[in-house]
Structure 1
């Protein structure tokens, strides 16, 4: 499946990169891609939970932080983690129709 997916460092998951038209792929390849994606997609909520825990830890640090520079850095890190969570949810929801195709 490496030719149809690439690891996204920022999101921490593999994302589809299909250069061909879907209908140009064989039925077997389509099924394999859908199954592979469904496994990745199924792990997205767990990935989000881990990121939320990291945000919570950073927010606790921020509550006790007196140094302005460090507070700014923590805020920036929290914002980036929140952005990653948002992107993960978009991938999870956007590709829900792909998962529905699997069950048809």
Structure 2
């Protein structure tokens, strides 16, 4: 297994999770006690994701595409790359539109 490739991928994923955590801290959850606050909070979260997470996803996709030719296709890493790249649009959809569907 290409551990250096795995380490880079995990570090990149951690960067995106950090954005999500930072968004919660930035927006706060104190105001969520009442239902009218929910739409505003979700809109703010979506804007933070679009501004900070989408560029990270773009960089990660470029890295995945550049890495795919240098790993063995039948290795676990190669199979993971072959699995995620064709499904990329579904992976980034929640970040781009703010929901899963």
TM-score (norm 2): 0.49
Bigger Rg, which one: 1
More helix by share: 2
Higher RCO (C-alpha 8 Å, min separation 6): 2
Q: What TM-score comes out, normalization by structure 1 length?
A: 0.48
Higher strand share goes to which structure?
1
